[in-house]
Structure 1
Amino acid sequence: MRDGEIERLRTQLKLLQQRLRREALPVPGVSLTAARVLGASVRLGDGASPRKLAEEARMTSSNVAAALRELERAGLVAREQDPADGRRVLVVVTEEGRSVVAARRRERDTWLGRAIGELLDEREQEILVAAGELLERLAGYEPPASGPAGGTLDRQK
């Protein structure tokens, strides 16, 4: 792919991600930052540390701490002591927190399903499924530890 094609693909993916975020229901009583931390908590599963949540949500520890206080006040998460190390804190998502995240995901999926059904014919939908598999492979790519740091992306097939 040429540099311009890669840039266009990145922009297209970004636009879709932004639209999916807009289609998600707001979480009543909590900020967007707190909603991100709640989603990260569900993805990581019960017992995640605040540090792991910060890594998953790509946020600073202080922002995660503030979001956790907000989520606790809303009854969406609880903090518990680590039974193996009482100095550590683990985050547990409440049932209400799980249902909020599930509702947001359903809303996004409903919008995406409607858009796919109304805009794409059967052949295009098959192409989209194949493209999704390719995107999943790309997401898992880890570059080799050695080798040139730079290099050109301007290649043709």
Structure 2
Amino acid sequence: MKNKQIASTLRSAISKINKRLRKQMNAAGSLSMSEIDTLSYLYNTESLPPSELAELIKIKGQSMSEIISRLEASGIILKIRSQTDKRKFEVSLTEQGRVLVEETRYERDGWLSSAIAELLTDQEKEILVSAATLLEKLSDFQ
């Protein structure tokens, strides 16, 4: 199989898995994928400035401002004034936001774990572990 064929097959499979995983996020309610991505980045850091969040999620600053406003109004995030420049702020998760991220991860992991247990043989599971390592490697490519 040629690289372009491999790429197309892989992209399609990843896209299908991603869509299925999104369907498993009952705890996230009506949050958009950009909002969920924002929460995920914040979960892994103490706080981030809106400009950095927008860059990570690959959206415009204005869109990030709207996301921050919605999430703050929901009590999921907090805006914290910068100690060095009072005109600027950073964003962090509230405890409610942390719980939400953990619940959505639990839901998706549960679905995927069940699918693996019911559909794959032991040999296929070993292949999947190797494939996951390769996918991580690909995700780091610039």
Letter in 2 for 1:125: K
Q: Following TM superposition, where does structure 1 have runs of at least 4 consecutive aligned residues deviating by more than 6 angstroms?
A: none
Equivalent in the alignment of 1:21: 22
- Larger proportion of helix: 2
| Cα offset, 1:52, TM superposition | 1.0
2:11, 2:36 → 1: CA distance?
Answer: 25
TM-score (norm 2): 0.90
Give 3-state SS (helix, strand or coil) of 1:78's partner: strand
Alignment of 1:78-117 (within 5 A): 78-117=78-117
1:108, 1:27 → 2: CA distance?
Answer: 11
Number of aligned pairs? 140
1:35, 1:5 → 2: CA distance?
Answer: 29
Q: Where do 5+ consecutive residues of structure 2 fail to align?
A: none
Q: Greater relative contact order (Cα 8 A, min sep 6): structure 1 or 2? A: 1
Answer whether contact 2:77 2:94 (CA < 8 A) is retained.
Answer: yes
Equivalent in the alignment of 2:35: 34
Q: Per-residue displacement from partner, 1:89-110 (whole Å, max 9, x unpaired)? A: 1001100100001000000000
C-alpha RMSD of the superposition: 1.5
Deviates more, 1:76-85 or 1:98-107: 76-85
TM-score (norm 1): 0.82
Give 1 or 2 for the bigger CA radius of gyration: 1
Q: Where do 5+ consecutive residues of structure 1 fail to align?
A: 143-157
Give 3-state SS (helix, strand or coil) of 1:87's partner: coil
| Cα offset, 1:26, TM superposition | 4.3
2:18, 2:50 → 1: CA distance?
Answer: 25
Identity %: 31
1:24, 1:128 → 2: CA distance?
Answer: 23
